[in-house]
Structure 1
Amino acid sequence: MALTLDIVTPERRVLSVTVDEVRAPGVLGGFGIRLNHEPFMTALEPGRLTYLEGGREHHYAVGGGFLQVADNKVIVLADTAEAAADIDVARARKTFEEAQDRLLALTEQDEGYGAESARVKRAAARLRVAGS
């Protein structure tokens, strides 16, 4: 028996792989999943999703979404997902700085505050996963 991981965004299936363990950024804190984990579903924060395969760690930046575990299958429905190696650090840094500047110009009562705050969190997650 094996643990499978599928990462899906609105645009495409990003990954489908057999893994030993999955670690994810839940809205209530990080958590891990191994073989025969109890079924559950949770919301994800923008952050680092890590999976272990054959003793090696692989990292993805996820921009929030949901994760479901059932029958040794982990399904991540992410707003965005990008492998660490695929992240353009210069672009991620620029996106973060621009989103942060826009957010600083808003108050929590402004209509676009929530969306801009989410952009900052996603960009920060990409930078953390890329190692910058």
Structure 2
Amino acid sequence: MLSGIQVLIVEDEALVAASLSDVMENAGGEVVGVARSVSEARELIRRLTFDAAVLDLHLPGGDVTPILEALHAGRAPTIVYSGDELPEKVRARHPELVALRKPVLTGRLMAEILRARRTDL
């Protein structure tokens, strides 16, 4: 389903990150990196190339808004995958952003990544 798509995962919970990595790889995608904090995310966004990102809203090290902005500036389709609703200020700035509340069926997550990539092309 994700044949050859390179994905960056930004998730601080180790089990969730590992599960997401397994899902991506089992669907034929390639996980190019996992960031578990705001600073790790900044570093990986600067040095890696990827086709899409899955982003948790709550990370150690501060507000994730700059991470979202960096992903948007780099034109990386981003799926927010969080336990909370998308904050209204983020929704207002990024009305196209797909936000899924944990837990989500893997098929839905894959479909949203593919849809986001098609929309971005």
- The answer, yes or no, to whether TM exceeds 0.5 is no
**Structure with the higher strand share, 1 or 2:** 1
**Structure with the higher helix share, 1 or 2:** 2
**TM-score, scaled relative to structure 1:** 0.23
Which structure has the greater CA radius of gyration?
A: 1
